[in-house]
Chain A
Amino acid sequence: MATIKIPPVLRASVGGEKQVSASGENVGDVLKDLAANHPATQDQLFSADGELNRYVNVYLNDEDVRVLDGLETSVGESDTLVILPAMAGGSR
């Protein structure tokens, strides 16, 4: 089971957890497992055609999966996935 770090805006969708575990051979499978266990994350992560939404960055450990093999990138048991949508909170 890989570890997934959940960003603040998605925590409500996973019962308030900061990180959860999910299984799968590659990034796509791990995220699908996450969405299966926490359906509220499905539309936030994936577009209607099953692609990762452009506004969501996913990192395998510290590397952007887009420069690896995208959703096909292999994931090991001890790997950590970081899900990262943009934040804009600032000055007010």
Chain B
Amino acid sequence: MSQSGAELLRQVKSQIEEVDPSEVAELMHEGVAIIDVRETEEYATGHLPGAKHVPRSYLETRIEGIVPDRSSQVILYCASGNRSAYGARTLEQDLGYEHVRSMTGGITLWKDRGYDVEVPRTLTAEQRDRYSRHMLVPEIGPEGQQKLLDAKVLLLGAGGLGSPTALYLAAAGVGTLGIVDDDVVDLSNLQRQVIHTTDRIGVAKVDSAEESIHALNPDVNVVKYQTRVDASNIVEIIKDYDVIVDGVDNFPTRYLLNDATVRLKIPVVSASILGFDGQLSVFKPYEGPCYRCLFREPPPAELAPSCGANGVLGVLPGTMGLLQATEVVKLIVGIGDPAIGRLLLYDALGATLTEVKVHRDPECPICSREPDEITDEELGVFPDYEAFCAAAG
């Protein structure tokens, strides 16, 4: 006569070794392999810190990948200690693991005793669907997507460059997008600033951008700064961001941003556009050159047509803004070769991309020094901008 399930369990437990949660709590810091054999949904609600997840039904096929050495100490657990008991017997008797134990009472007893539980961060079903094309790229995958969801990116300007950058970063699932812009949408913006719409002329650009971003991806947390960055507010605005996208239209702000980001060690993805030409580089403080290493001094006003309105091919900020968005994603996920120490020059009319090297300047007034040596008074030191633009006529 065949035995009952309860009898079988008693028999299995008599054949294996069990371990009390108190001992597991001590052993877990000593490199013992702790395996959670529950189902995926159970694991997702919380597990022992550092535990590896191998569902009971995959134990035989996957354990060797996680614990290749059969003489290692292995502790299995489940919800109450039953499934892990069966698993322990399998590992010991069928696969030859020499030191396998099953945790008494499972994670239920573990929790009752007040020990820590780690709740894994998993994508929701909706997120897995929305970002499924990222999941399929090995370089990104669920881990990269989680990094994007955790990332905080600040866009200086919701204009020509900021528009496409913001849209694609929102689509990519960047969790927090800060936008700094004090302007309102104007009809003449719409030739290139694709985040805004005709029916939002006169609306603050930060509000218009937020509406488009949420229409595309409601998960994105949009933080609006309807202001211009200056020496008095820049540190407070930028300090909590992981990456800053620089699309500002004037030299004083570029130098100010550079100095503040070097001090705070925040990477900047920078682009500029004029006519049919674009430039792009990534300034990662202390790993590569900073903006002042590239351009120690701003050009005189007549060589810097950046004070008033200038013509630009409407598509060009799209091209350059999306190169910026690409660099941002690479920096967040940690893949590829960001354009650090390189300046890319795009000539839209010639359809050419030229690259020049940018070196750290050992005499750079900013990044040749330690961050805490850079004072508030030094941030963005620049010739008088009013005079600068007045001279440009």
Footprint of B on A, CB under 8 Å? 5, 7-10, 18, 44, 53-57, 59, 62-64, 67, 82, 84-92
Whether B304 pairs with A86 at a CB distance below 8 angstroms is yes
Report the separation of the CA atoms of residues A51 and B181 in the bound assembly, to the nearest whole angstrom.
Answer: 39
Whether A54 pairs with B296 at a CB distance below 8 angstroms is yes
Nearest CB in chain A: distance from B290 CB, A: 13
Whether B356 pairs with A88 at a CB distance below 8 angstroms is no
Given contacts A7-B277, A18-B347, contact A89 B272 (CB under 8 A): yes
Whether A88 pairs with B251 at a CB distance below 8 angstroms is yes
Report the separation of the CA atoms of residues A5 and B345 in the bound assembly, to the nearest whole angstrom.
Answer: 11
Give residues 308-357 of B contacting A (CB, 8 Å): 309-310, 312, 343, 345, 347, 349-350, 354-357
Chain A residues within an 8 Å CB radius of B254: 88
Footprint of A on B, CB under 8 Å? 156-162, 181, 183, 246-251, 254, 271-277, 279, 294-300, 303-306, 309-310, 312, 343, 345, 347, 349-350, 354-359
Whether B359 pairs with A67 at a CB distance below 8 angstroms is yes
Chain A residues within an 8 Å CB radius of B248: 88, 90-91
Whether B299 pairs with A89 at a CB distance below 8 angstroms is no
Whether A90 pairs with B357 at a CB distance below 8 angstroms is no
Report the separation of the CA atoms of residues A63 and B354 in the bound assembly, to the nearest whole angstrom.
Answer: 12
Whether B183 pairs with A92 at a CB distance below 8 angstroms is yes
Report the separation of the CA atoms of residues A54 and B294 in the bound assembly, to the nearest whole angstrom.
Answer: 10
Report the separation of the CA atoms of residues A85 and B350 in the bound assembly, to the nearest whole angstrom.
Answer: 19
Interface centre among A62, A84, A92 (most CB of B within 10 A): A92
Whether B158 pairs with A91 at a CB distance below 8 angstroms is yes
Taking A89-B305, A91-B248 as given, write out 17 further A-B residue pairs in contact, using a Cβ cutoff of 8 Å, ordered by the A residue number. Answer: A7-B277, A9-B304, A53-B299, A54-B297, A56-B299, A63-B356, A64-B359, A82-B354, A85-B299, A85-B303, A86-B298, A88-B248, A88-B249, A88-B254, A88-B306, A90-B249, A91-B158
